[in-house]
Structure 1
Amino acid sequence: MILKMWRDLRLHLRIAGRVWRSLKRETVPHRTRIWSYPVLRQLSEDKNAPEDLKANNATCSKDKNGLNSTTLIQTDVTSTNKEDTDWDLVGTTNSAAVLEDTDWDLKDDNPVPLATNSEDNNWDLKDDDAVPLATNSSDTDWDLKDDDNDDVVPLATNTEDTDWDLKDSNTNVPPTSPVSLSISEGDLVEMCEQLKGREKLLKSVAAGQGITGEIYDEVLTSFCELLQDPTQYSENTALSNTVESIHRGSTHVDSLFTYFINHAHKCYPLLYVLPQLKNIADLTSPAQWYPAARAMKRHFVIHAGPTNSGKTHKALEAFYNASSGIYCAPLRMLAQEIYFKSNDQGVECDLITGEERIYVSGSPEKLSNHTSCTIEMASTAIGEEFDVAIIDEAQMVRDTERGGAWTRAILGVPAKEIHLCGEESVISIIRSIAESVGDTVEVKRYERLTPLIPLKRSLIGNYYFIRPGDCVIVFSRRLVFEVKDHIERATGRRCAIVYGGLPSVNRREQAELFNSPTSGFDILVATDAIGMGLNLHIRRILFHSVSKVARGNLENLSSSQLKQISGRAGRYGSFNVGIVTTFFNRDMPYFQEAFKKKIADIDKAGLTPTLEQLQLFSKSLPNLKLHELLSVFSMAAKLDGRYFLCEDKMQEWRAISEVLSVYNLDLKDAITFCLCPVNLNVPLLRKMFSIYAAQVSEKKPVTYEFVKRALKWPFREPQNSSDFFIFEKAHEVMDTYLWLGQRFPEYFPHSEKISLLQKDIENIIGSSLRKRRSYRRGISVAASLFRPIISHRRGSPLSRVRIIDEELPTITPSTYIYKSNHYKQ
């Protein structure tokens, strides 16, 4: 009964709504639509703005994407004289909205513009069905749509005057009367799939309107949701009849393209002025951002080869022998290593990273001739000049998050001779970039110093087959501790661990424990963090999995990633051969395929906008918040064929800027905060980052005592991996403090005290990792050591170890017991 009453009520409300809308239409005989965009309104106040961007103010609202949306304003016509028509705009300060040189044709009580600009565009008046007839932005024919549609959109596909006829030859003009759709939900879903099946053509059409990438995906998803709910467009007779015609088979699904573009402009109104914004967000000549480098004649030396080929060693020889030099490291830990090595060899070298500055002289006023820095801190300033620069791991130019830092260093470091170390895949893109600015290129190729052998079989998922000198690769922090426990239970041997969240000091300490033959840590469990920055004496790499979570999706390792990690096995001077295989059989087919596959050449390098560019862009859109500004910049960015925009980095900046949007930070400070390397997915880091931003916005300092109170320091000694996690994140909170302290010293004045607190955390983590854990076992450690050997002799299923080790030394008890044989086998 209640359900029936509810259905009747909904029916009556729906009927009443339709009657009210019908009456409203009858009481407003003369209507027109006037579009006003916030960008046009802002630029209309600028004397230097193009004339075609100036528009009258109108009411705006926020759409679901946070960008200012266009609001349709329907008003009564106070005069029908086409030569002297006054318009009353609701909610605006202007009393007239007459466009210059515009004639109006009053058809069916609706004023229709016949020409809207000085170029005298033509309009094709059809029976209220809008289909664009031309794509040339300077000579666009328009077709007026039905009264119930909200926008009139030129369907441009590019700027090369490409004509598109989106109407099928059999397409009928839909009637003007409303149509009641009688199409099942399944048929509508099938229609959406047909539309997606036309993806190639639809993307081409959409690209002409600036609808690409994430915007295209979002609009397509939204449009399909709209199509599958006819109640949302019941008043749009043109779309309703088109859907009905497609269902009957009398119209092709391509007829929906016009409505798709129309829907995109509703979601993203700024698409209308995208061509003008593209001129401001022009990234086609990034080389001109660095006048110091352009004033020099530079020579590139590319050291191309796989891991463990000695290419970085050769480049460092040139660095040590030069009168001045700069080493650009991919990681803070590697920058620290070169800093220590240089000073140990008698070459005075300063250390510059995002979090710390160490000067040999003790003062920033007196700099050393050599500098070791992270890639983001590489100097491109006018007045600085180096004899030699080294850019390590140059293949990172293709990275969608950090690639912009490598491109910046390659284009902007003012050095006479630049040594790039990386894969052979980087050669072509470096040649292209260097030649474009008049620099010369020399290529030196290297081979591995020890052979790398991929095994044909896995370890069949058995931890007993793991030996001293092995490194098990996993791809999550949780698995690091789980696999460590499994190995220690199965073999009785201790494991060192390395993963990205571990402080760099503790990572280096764990690597040293693994490398030492007398430490008792025979096995290493690590993530792909070992791929760069650590020198490890690994005999065999074992992939626990060949897939990892990236950007929220589980993805297989690329051939480049797999070979980069595999190359850590068989380090020259430690072993005569490197061995690599998988832990489980299920991963073996992909592993073999990826290992044999040649790494594709890099054809594009990443770019990110500079602080100055974003500030200039914001002057055109002063009312947009930073996260909105970054979204518009991504849409408007115009790029050369050699470069791509680092969308992962832009997405990271947008996420940070949304957190900052509630604080009163000026644009420059907000952008500086966005550059901070912080993981906002961790609640503690997000909370402390927000506190830091709030303090800066209120012009209040963040003191040492303030940080301790906020963290509720001290913590209890870590007993498990969850406790370790708290210490690690507290360490990252202090890293963020140190990073901000280098940029806002007046608000973060206690960097030295925070550094000492960090050292306390590093000591606690290090001592806890070195402690031996005890296990309750039903079998003695000694028996567990010999279990694989006993099983092998008995001919049990574990005898498959003989197959696994067909290319390795024979298993003996000494292999499991004596660490002294670690480097001999």
Structure 2
Amino acid sequence: MRGRWGLLRFTCGGLLRNFRREYHGKRNSLRIFEDNRWLVQKPSLTSIPPQERSQVDAIGFMFGRNAPENIYTSDENFKELLDKSMHHVYNQKLTASFAGQENYKDYAWLKLRDYIYGQLKDGSLQEKVKQYKPSLTQLIKPSCPAHVVPQLIKVDDYDSNTWQTILKNKVDSKLNKYVHFLSQTYDYIYEQEVLPLMMKTKKTDGSDDVDISNPVEWFAEARKMKRHIIMHIGPTNSGKTYRALQQLKHANRGYYAGPLRLLAREIYDRFQKDGVRCNLLTGEEVIHDLDSAGNPAGLTSGTVEMVPLTQDFDVVVLDEIQMMADLDRGWAWSNALLGAKAREVHVCGEKSTLPLIKNIIKMTGDKLTVNEYERLGKLKVEDWVLPKGYKSLRKGDCVVAFSKKRILDLKLRIEKDTNLKVAVIYGSLPPETRIQQAHLFNSGEYDIMVASDAIGMGLNLSIDRVIFTTDVKFNGKELVELSSSNIKQIGGRAGRFKSGSQGQDIPQGFITTFDPSVLSTIRRGMDAPIDYLQSAVIWPTDEICGNIITKFPPGTPPSVLLKAIALRLEKSSHKLFTMSDLKNKLNVLAIFEHMDDIAFFDKLRLSNAPVKDLPLVRNAFAQFCDTIAKRQTRGLLSYPFPFEVLDYKCITDEKFGLELYESLYNIIMLYFWLGNRYPSYFIDYESATDLKYFCELIIFEKLDRLKKNPYNKGAPQSVGSIYKQRAHFVNQYTRKRN
């Protein structure tokens, strides 16, 4: 017993201290992957009450007086079944454990309780239970602890014959079904989540020599080159990207890396119009510009995540380089800056990146040249707010808000109170719809633009005046005040410089608000000194993660690996680098991680899929992943998705809301994304392309004919009974195509 607790104290409490003492004075950055003790960790417990984390023999679940009502506290029958079945599992798994293994089994028990606590506390549990559809595989061998409560609630969804086969000689009772689910889930947690974290493993193939504590060394081939990093920095509308693109045009082999698919497409179209051969490479779309001999163009326009870091280039352009500080996607800019194999790397963005990039270049040993530009045009913050509210708006104004509901409310209100026609842009609109709305505004067909901060990047808009409706925005957790960088990026869209403007034609942009207190915040933000970036967000490449997985027991889930790497890197990486936020990646992994027939590298790849956090989209992605697991070949129309609503008759039917069509659009684009990576499984691009165009058309028409806000509480968003019509729709569509 003393030896067990001594090991625990060493591995958990004293690991980092002892490790630092051993290497003190030898090097500044810890080479953490030269010693495998970093792997020994305790599973995280986030939902279980703190006082219960040391009470391994606890069975029931305790909720305070002020805790929200849940099925455990309100349904006595469920409470009794769960308590009894947990008692069975405790006696079976823990009281009979072998000597030396109690500690690991204790943590598996606590982790099981942690999962159950988290789901019982979830305010959307009832909705998740409705959407949960247990598969036969999960019935026989549950391997998804995140769904254990919905599994328990839906134990009777399968007939008694199926349960008799699963339970073998046991009585087909609800208690035995609960015990089966909880016992199997406990085994999964013990084998796949606890042991991989808490057991040290031996060297297998030399992977212990992997050192990822210094991201600069991840890209050995780039470090062999003497690269020239050329910075183009300045405020919005200073022509920095234009100058970098002129260098790219004259290169034999080059890549433009933009933050958005629509911006990559815009550069591709611009090059094609100018007679410059160019390919397009995004997650969802690949176009090869082939010559008569079938050779692709030497230049490519694409998204930053798609930069091929193993390919040699003459010139690479990294646009919006300040995005390297973004906790979700910043790793793509950082990896491209560190790893692009190019003689010249042109980085375009805000001056706030200058000190950080200078420090990074000192580590890489590359040459650095800095070009700084001034704004092409004037920009002024107005002295007064708009005196008559919406009636003070004029043609060329852009009104800024930060939620879909608010944006559509503003569109309806402005069109009601004035004679002005309003275009809208927000993040979840299809890029093609955003381009259409921008064209209607720029051409003068629509008078006013109402938009989110999506206008701050990737769209050329002829805005004369930016009007902020608020100085706060929701960051996913809480309302926070707009940063000075946000304010400058959005406000800088006013007075957009047009090519060919000279002298008196140089535009004047204005910024104002509806509210005096908001105007004060905006003025402070515009006048604030530059807030320099302190660190770049990083994340190891899939190849590095693949090398590290050999240090874990076979079958370790990718989520365990990613969490372990993140925890260690957070403590050991150079101060210039910050860990990427794994929230989105782990949310996507949770959809398919339990599918044993998907290979580890495929799971890493799929974790990067652009899955919107919408029920219909997550369900669709689960079906796509099942196709990969089963090695099937399927067209998009073979899935039971409600494409029958892509009908002109639905345009004026308000029960089919915008969110439904935005979900369908994301499903279609996920199909393209997967088709580019698994072309043998996802086929019939012609049908998918047709559905994409239909979806874009209906979203555009719904916006144009908007009579009431579909995002208001209580607005109908349900798909209803449309699934019943699906077979009819598929038959009709097939006949039309033929």
TM-score, reference length from structure 1 = 0.61
Match of 1:486 among 396, 410, 413: 413
- Structure 1 gaps of 5+ residues are 1-31, 36-71, 73-112, 117-129, 138-150, 163-208, 233-261, 776-825
Using the TM superposition, give the Cα deviation of residue 292 of structure 1 relative to its aligned residue in structure 2, in angstroms: 3.6
Q: Which SS does the other structure have where 2:348 is aligned?
A: strand
The answer to whether residue 395 in structure 2 is matched with residue 462 in structure 1 is no
CA contact (8 A) 2:202 2:551 kept: no
Match of 1:591 among 489, 513, 522: 522
The answer to whether residue 504 in structure 2 is matched with residue 577 in structure 1 is no
CA contact (8 A) 2:196 2:556 kept: no
Aligned to 2:551: 620
Aligned to 2:154: none
* Whole-angstrom CA distance in 2 between matches of 1:451 and 1:228: 64
Q: Which SS does the other structure have where 2:450 is aligned?
A: strand
Aligned to 2:177: none
CA contact (8 A) 1:451 1:577 kept: yes
More helix by share: 2
How do residues 714-729 of structure 1 correspond to structure 2 at under 5 angstroms? Answer: 714-715=646-647, 716-719=649-652, 720=654, 723-729=657-663
Using the TM superposition, give the Cα deviation of residue 560 of structure 1 relative to its aligned residue in structure 2, in angstroms: 0.9
Match of 2:442 among 505, 515, 525: 515
CA contact (8 A) 2:412 2:707 kept: no
The answer to whether residue 638 in structure 2 is matched with residue 668 in structure 1 is no
Deviations 1:697-725 (A, max 9, x none): 12222313214655445444333596222
* Whole-angstrom CA distance in 2 between matches of 1:707 and 1:364: 39
CA contact (8 A) 2:637 2:687 kept: no
Amino acid aligned to 1:635: L
Using the TM superposition, give the Cα deviation of residue 640 of structure 1 relative to its aligned residue in structure 2, in angstroms: 2.1
Using the TM superposition, give the Cα deviation of residue 442 of structure 1 relative to its aligned residue in structure 2, in angstroms: 0.5
Match of 2:266 among 315, 327, 337: 337
Amino acid aligned to 1:302: M
Match of 1:765 among 696, 699, 710: 699
Q: Which has the larger radius of gyration?
A: 1
Q: Which SS does the other structure have where 2:360 is aligned?
A: helix
How do residues 752-791 of structure 1 correspond to structure 2 at under 5 angstroms? Answer: 752-771=686-705
CA contact (8 A) 1:463 1:487 kept: yes
Aligned to 1:561: 486
Aligned to 1:805: none
For residues 576 and 281 of structure 1, do their structure 2 counterparts lie closer, same or farther at Cα, with a shift above 3 Å needed? same
CA contact (8 A) 1:281 1:636 kept: no
Aligned to 1:314: 243
* Whole-angstrom CA distance in 2 between matches of 1:596 and 1:699: 57
The answer to whether residue 389 in structure 2 is matched with residue 453 in structure 1 is no
CA contact (8 A) 1:460 1:585 kept: no
Using the TM superposition, give the Cα deviation of residue 580 of structure 1 relative to its aligned residue in structure 2, in angstroms: 1.2
The answer to whether residue 544 in structure 2 is matched with residue 610 in structure 1 is no
Using the TM superposition, give the Cα deviation of residue 331 of structure 1 relative to its aligned residue in structure 2, in angstroms: 0.5
The answer to whether residue 626 in structure 2 is matched with residue 694 in structure 1 is yes
Using the TM superposition, give the Cα deviation of residue 270 of structure 1 relative to its aligned residue in structure 2, in angstroms: 7.7
The answer to whether residue 668 in structure 2 is matched with residue 737 in structure 1 is no
CA contact (8 A) 2:352 2:533 kept: yes
Aligned to 2:502: none
Percent of residue pairs bearing the same amino acid type: 31
Using the TM superposition, give the Cα deviation of residue 544 of structure 1 relative to its aligned residue in structure 2, in angstroms: 1.3
Aligned to 1:205: none
Aligned to 2:360: 433
CA contact (8 A) 1:322 1:388 kept: yes
CA contact (8 A) 2:412 2:706 kept: no
Amino acid aligned to 1:464: K
The answer to whether residue 616 in structure 2 is matched with residue 684 in structure 1 is yes
CA contact (8 A) 1:539 1:575 kept: no
Using the TM superposition, give the Cα deviation of residue 350 of structure 1 relative to its aligned residue in structure 2, in angstroms: 0.7
For residues 387 and 272 of structure 1, do their structure 2 counterparts lie closer, same or farther at Cα, with a shift above 3 Å needed? same
Amino acid aligned to 1:642: L
* Whole-angstrom CA distance in 1 between matches of 2:638 and 2:363: 51
* Whole-angstrom CA distance in 2 between matches of 1:590 and 1:418: 37
The answer to whether residue 568 in structure 2 is matched with residue 639 in structure 1 is no
* Whole-angstrom CA distance in 2 between matches of 1:364 and 1:284: 46
RCO (CA 8 Å, sep 6+): is it higher in 1 or 2? Answer: 2
Using the TM superposition, give the Cα deviation of residue 514 of structure 1 relative to its aligned residue in structure 2, in angstroms: 0.3
Using the TM superposition, give the Cα deviation of residue 767 of structure 1 relative to its aligned residue in structure 2, in angstroms: 3.9
CA contact (8 A) 2:53 2:110 kept: no
Deviations 1:249-274 (A, max 9, x none): xxxxxxxxxxxxx9999888988779
CA contact (8 A) 1:558 1:594 kept: yes
Amino acid aligned to 1:667: F
Comparing 284-293 and 634-643, the one that deviates more: 284-293
How do residues 491-502 of structure 1 correspond to structure 2 at under 5 angstroms? Answer: 491-502=418-429
State the aligned residue count. 551
* Whole-angstrom CA distance in 2 between matches of 1:734 and 1:364: 33
Q: Which SS does the other structure have where 2:683 is aligned?
A: coil
Match of 2:477 among 552, 559, 562: 552
For residues 480 and 768 of structure 1, do their structure 2 counterparts lie closer, same or farther at Cα, with a shift above 3 Å needed? same
* Whole-angstrom CA distance in 2 between matches of 1:320 and 1:652: 36
Aligned to 2:531: 600
CA contact (8 A) 1:461 1:585 kept: no
The answer to whether residue 225 in structure 2 is matched with residue 296 in structure 1 is yes
For residues 269 and 587 of structure 1, do their structure 2 counterparts lie closer, same or farther at Cα, with a shift above 3 Å needed? farther
* Whole-angstrom CA distance in 1 between matches of 2:269 and 2:608: 27
CA contact (8 A) 1:292 1:380 kept: no
* Whole-angstrom CA distance in 2 between matches of 1:323 and 1:152: 54
* Whole-angstrom CA distance in 2 between matches of 1:263 and 1:763: 53
How do residues 108-127 of structure 1 correspond to structure 2 at under 5 angstroms? Answer: none
Using the TM superposition, give the Cα deviation of residue 288 of structure 1 relative to its aligned residue in structure 2, in angstroms: 3.2
* Whole-angstrom CA distance in 2 between matches of 1:554 and 1:722: 30
Amino acid aligned to 1:630: L
Match of 1:542 among 464, 467, 476: 467
Cα RMSD (Å):
3.7
Comparing 452-461 and 370-379, the one that deviates more: 452-461
* Whole-angstrom CA distance in 2 between matches of 1:273 and 1:440: 45
Aligned to 1:800: none
Using the TM superposition, give the Cα deviation of residue 636 of structure 1 relative to its aligned residue in structure 2, in angstroms: 2.3
* Whole-angstrom CA distance in 1 between matches of 2:589 and 2:320: 30
Q: Which SS does the other structure have where 2:699 is aligned?
A: helix
Deviations 1:663-684 (A, max 9, x none): 22121111111011111x2011
The answer to whether residue 348 in structure 2 is matched with residue 417 in structure 1 is no
How do residues 270-285 of structure 1 correspond to structure 2 at under 5 angstroms? Answer: 282-285=211-214
How do residues 803-814 of structure 1 correspond to structure 2 at under 5 angstroms? Answer: none
Using the TM superposition, give the Cα deviation of residue 589 of structure 1 relative to its aligned residue in structure 2, in angstroms: 3.5
Amino acid aligned to 1:643: F
The answer to whether residue 404 in structure 2 is matched with residue 477 in structure 1 is yes
CA contact (8 A) 1:283 1:640 kept: no
* Whole-angstrom CA distance in 2 between matches of 1:487 and 1:524: 11
Q: Which SS does the other structure have where 1:444 is aligned?
A: strand
For residues 451 and 741 of structure 1, do their structure 2 counterparts lie closer, same or farther at Cα, with a shift above 3 Å needed? same
Amino acid aligned to 1:294: R
For residues 706 and 444 of structure 1, do their structure 2 counterparts lie closer, same or farther at Cα, with a shift above 3 Å needed? same
How do residues 14-163 of structure 1 correspond to structure 2 at under 5 angstroms? Answer: 32=1, 35=4, 154=14, 157=17, 159-161=19-21
Q: Which SS does the other structure have where 1:283 is aligned?
A: coil
Q: Which SS does the other structure have where 1:500 is aligned?
A: coil
Deviations 1:628-653 (A, max 9, x none): 22222221224222211112xx2211
* Whole-angstrom CA distance in 1 between matches of 2:708 and 2:109: 64
CA contact (8 A) 2:380 2:509 kept: yes
For residues 691 and 269 of structure 1, do their structure 2 counterparts lie closer, same or farther at Cα, with a shift above 3 Å needed? closer
Amino acid aligned to 1:626: P
CA contact (8 A) 1:701 1:749 kept: yes
Q: Which SS does the other structure have where 2:487 is aligned?
A: helix
Q: Which SS does the other structure have where 1:322 is aligned?
A: coil
